Structure 1
């Protein structure tokens, strides 16, 4: 199997052939974000699958936040479109952890690092994020770390 970027390109071509406008526009946007990340910085480079995954995670979060903003502004149609785009992108992300799974991983990371007290929030977050490895949003992980260090 090829890279995640190759999979995105292949799925884009399939969506174009199938005249699936939502998937086509969403994957074009995602691939544009990946290309922007590739040329960001001082030198163009190819992204690893983990880096492409990070870009897709950011784009999914943007869609979720935009959907909330549109819904709050009374623009249900636009909010629905943003949610649909987020669902297309979520197909490429790893399955998100449940709250119980996050709590367990954070507990183990805090115990392994010997972290206690809010003063150690930074190093504890770093250890917890490493344990979660992109399978949950940072905000959810931070909330659990704060709760357990509490």
Structure 2
């Protein structure tokens, strides 16, 4: 089933179950997807939708950090609940070993010799890892392998 259809089915299920927090989060996701489709005048693929969801999760993680610094655990809890709902629609996360193996393969594939080739390695890795691992962490691992 396509990701957009899965989101719409889950929206219906949340409505029937009267699960307002889940319903609200799914509506936010569908709205963000629709906004991008309208802005760019395209129909998004599952990979594009995953990228939208990754962006939404990243925004919420930033908000959680800010709320926790301000001692607003009530707001942080709301954001954490939204992250949990959004992660239901994202691909299975990769283990550290799988990420390491993908990095090694990308370095070999791109023929990277040093830090100046980091862009090539990340270009190979991004489509494989998008939504399945934290790109910041992956970038640090690539940097340590090349440096």
1:148 is aligned to 145
1:35 is aligned to 34
Name stretches of at least 5 consecutive residues in structure 1 with no aligned partner: none
Distance in 1 between the 2:30 and 2:73 partners? 26
Distance in 1 between the 2:51 and 2:130 partners? 11
Please say if residues 94 and 132 of structure 2, whose CA atoms lie closer than 8 Å, have aligned partners that are also in contact: yes
Specify which of 104, 107, 119 is matched with residue 107 of structure 1: 104
What TM-score do you get using the length of structure 1 for normalisation? 0.91
1:72 aligns with 2:69: yes
Off by >3 Å, runs of 4+ in structure 1? none
Distance in 2 between the 1:65 and 1:13 partners? 29
Name stretches of at least 5 consecutive residues in structure 2 with no aligned partner: none
Specify which of 80, 90, 93 is matched with residue 93 of structure 1: 90
What TM-score do you get using the length of structure 2 for normalisation? 0.93
Which fold has the larger relative contact order, with Cα–Cα distance below 8 Å and residues 6 or more apart in sequence? 2
1:60 aligns with 2:60: no
Distance in 1 between the 2:25 and 2:130 partners? 25
1:20 is aligned to 19
Distance in 1 between the 2:120 and 2:109 partners? 12
Tell me which moved more, 108-117 or 125-134: 125-134
CA-based RMSD of the aligned residues comes to: 1.3
Deviation at 1:137, TM superposition (A): 2.3
Aligned residues: 147
